[in-house]
Every structure is written in C-alpha cells, then in structure tokens.
A and B are shown apart, each in its own frame.
Chain A
Amino acid sequence: MFIIPKEKEVPLGCITPAPVTEQTMMITGNWREYRPVIDQEKCNLCMNCIVYCPDACWQLNEAEDEVVWNAKYCKGCLICVNECTTEALSKAYELDFEDGVVRLEKPF
C-alpha cells in the first residue's frame, strides 16, 4: 500500500536482530587519529589491553598465545597504550598506514 525506500526501512515495532560477534552496521574503525601498535616481543599477556578496551578490540588468540587487535572497530582512544604494563603498546599516526581504510559514505 505504501512504498518505503530501502534506506528508510524500519522493522516492525523497531525490533532489530541482536548482533553475534560484531555490529557491522556501526563500523568505528574510521574514528582513529592514532592506532595502537604492539610489539609482541615485549608483551607479557598481562591482559590489561583486553579488559580495559571499551570496544572489545583486543582479544586473546589462545592458539598463538598473543593478543590480537581489531582495526575494524578500534576508535583510537589508546586506553590500551596508557594501561600497558610492559610498554609493548605504542601509538602511531593513522596516515602512516596504507591499511585500515574504511571510507564510509556517511559517518554511520
């Protein structure tokens, strides 16, 4: 009866599916001015970066016994760098990297 353009669709009652491991409709990797860089040699797996990241962008790779960074969602707050106990983490300017390009049409 009504024509609703795809980009304006809202599910009935605004009830949306729950995400499973990440919310792909809200990629936040384009928020970063700086990114954390890890020196795996210095990392003693203190877990601080994992527990203190508000965006759950550090996870433990149990198999490799190392921490893994999620570039797709990291907003570059650098709490992890600040809380790192072994100086394994440092900050680096985002334009120094070719990777990590998101380039959305709109901010969200």
Chain B
Amino acid sequence: MASKVKQITVWARGVVQDKEGRDIANGLANAAKKEGKFTQAFDNYVDLPDRVNVPLRKYARISDEEIEERYEYENEKPEVVIVADATLVKGINVLRGMEKGGVLVVNTDRKPEDILKFIPNRDLLKAIVCVDAKGICGEATVDFSGSEGGVDAVGLGAGMAAPILGALVRGTNLVKLENLAAVVKNKEALYKGHEQAVVKTL
C-alpha cells in the first residue's frame, strides 16, 4: 500500500454498533472529501453478516492522490484506530499493523490510563483520546438500512458516531471539525464530543 494513503480502522460491536461504526468511517471520508481529498469508506465484508456483539471492522482511507488500492479490502496498517466500545481492547489487538506514532480513539467513560493498561503494545501510540459518547447521546442507533451496501435512511451521525468523530479531531489532523459538522446530523453531539474528549499524549 502506498504510504500516502492514511488508513483509519474502526472497531465496533455487531448489530448494536454496526451503524455507528459505519457512520464514523463514512463521516471521516465525507468530511475529508470536502477538503479535496481522495477518500474511501467501507465495511469489512468478512465480518459480515454481523451478529450481536461480534467485533467488527469498518474502514476509511484518506489520500492526497487517487487511491489505487480501492479493492484491497483490509486496512493492513492503520494510522488511527477508533474503538467504538471500550471493552473491545480486551478481546482484540486493536493496534494490529499500526506503525509507531499512531492515535487511538476510544468511546469510554473511563480515563485513558484505564484503557491503556489493556493495551500491551501502547508504545505504538503517540496519543490516546477518550470520549464518553454514550453519556453524550445515549444508546446506539440500531438500523439496517445502510447495511449490505444499502443507503442509510436515518442520517449519518445521528447517534454515537457524532461525539466520537468530534473527539477524533482533538487527537488527529485528519479532518477539520467544521467539515465534520457539515456532514454529521447531530452537530451538538459532535461539538460536545470535541469539547469533552480527554487527550493523553504519550
């Protein structure tokens, strides 16, 4: 994979966070597109059909040049990893493939230290961002209209994805907050996530 393509991997739980996970990837890609970038966002096909609670991956890619690896369907080297449910860090090596200097964004009401103790390869990170997305906008939205290649009918970032995207801007320079605000439905939650996120630089 050409180094100019930034890979972002989202980890979420099946069904209950399927839409939220997809919204995070789509939100990032749509916002980056507004900044004139070449982008891509897609489900990991092997993780589908998703089952309640199963760990699953959603991917986004952002690049200054045309993405040539459009059909390579796994992000092998993510620079940014987003964990939509904090307990996933106990079950999955979420930093798999990351090179030194990456960023981890976690949806949790706990402190960065509480999460980091479950991440044995935390030396790969330059920063961790924690945000209590559930606290900001309640439970995740379960909706299947955007699954299996369908077009989402509820609205991108109507739920938990919005504050997580807001928090992401605090730890990375992937996209600008105002561009996310232009594509996300629940703007209030986006800004709250941005404000309330806890960043720890490592």
A→B interface (CB under 8 Å): 28-33, 75-77, 93-95, 100-107
Chain B: CB-nearest residue to A35: B87
Besides the known contacts A102-B92, A104-B93, 11 further A-B residue pairs in the complex with CB atoms under 8 A apart:
A30-B55, A31-B13, A33-B85, A94-B90, A95-B90, A101-B91, A102-B90, A103-B90, A103-B93, A104-B91, A107-B55
- Kindly supply a per-residue 1/0 record for chain B positions 146-160, scoring 1 wherever the CB is within 8 Å of any chain A CB and 0 otherwise: 000000000000000
Contact of A102 among B54, B85, B91 (CB under 8 A): B91
A55 and B56 alpha carbons, distance in the complex (Å)? 20
The 10 A-B residue pairs with the shortest CB-CB distance in the complex, in nearest-first order? A30-B91, A31-B53, A94-B87, A107-B55, A102-B91, A33-B87, A101-B90, A75-B53, A105-B93, A103-B93
Give the shortest distance, in Å, between B152 (CB) and chain A (any CB).
Answer: 23
- Kindly supply a per-residue 1/0 record for chain B positions 42-70, scoring 1 wherever the CB is within 8 Å of any chain A CB and 0 otherwise: 00000100001111110000000000000
**Neighbouring B residues of A102 by C-beta, 8 Å:** 90-92
B→A interface (CB under 8 Å): 13, 47, 52-57, 85-88, 90-93, 96, 108, 110, 114-115, 118, 120
Of A28, A33, A77, A104, which is in contact with the most chain B CB atoms at under 10 Å from its CB?
A: A33
A99 and B103 alpha carbons, distance in the complex (Å)? 26
A95 and B108 alpha carbons, distance in the complex (Å)? 10
**Neighbouring A residues of B110 by C-beta, 8 Å:** 95
Residues B118 and A95 in contact, CB atoms below 8 Å apart: yes
Of B86, B88, B90, B96, which is in contact with the most chain A CB atoms at under 10 Å from its CB?
A: B90
Residues B96 and A105 in contact, CB atoms below 8 Å apart: yes
Residues B118 and A101 in contact, CB atoms below 8 Å apart: yes
**Neighbouring B residues of A33 by C-beta, 8 Å:** 13, 53, 85, 87
**Neighbouring A residues of B13 by C-beta, 8 Å:** 31, 33
A20 and B92 alpha carbons, distance in the complex (Å)? 26
**Neighbouring B residues of A93 by C-beta, 8 Å:** 87
A95-B110, A95-B114 known; A31+B54 contact, CB < 8 A: yes
Residues A100 and B55 in contact, CB atoms below 8 Å apart: no
A102 and B96 alpha carbons, distance in the complex (Å)? 14
A32 and B86 alpha carbons, distance in the complex (Å)? 11
A75 and B52 alpha carbons, distance in the complex (Å)? 9
A77 and B52 alpha carbons, distance in the complex (Å)? 9
Give the shortest distance, in Å, between A40 (CB) and chain B (any CB).
Answer: 25
Residues A32 and B92 in contact, CB atoms below 8 Å apart: no
**Neighbouring B residues of A95 by C-beta, 8 Å:** 86-87, 90, 108, 110, 114-115, 118
Residues A32 and B52 in contact, CB atoms below 8 Å apart: no
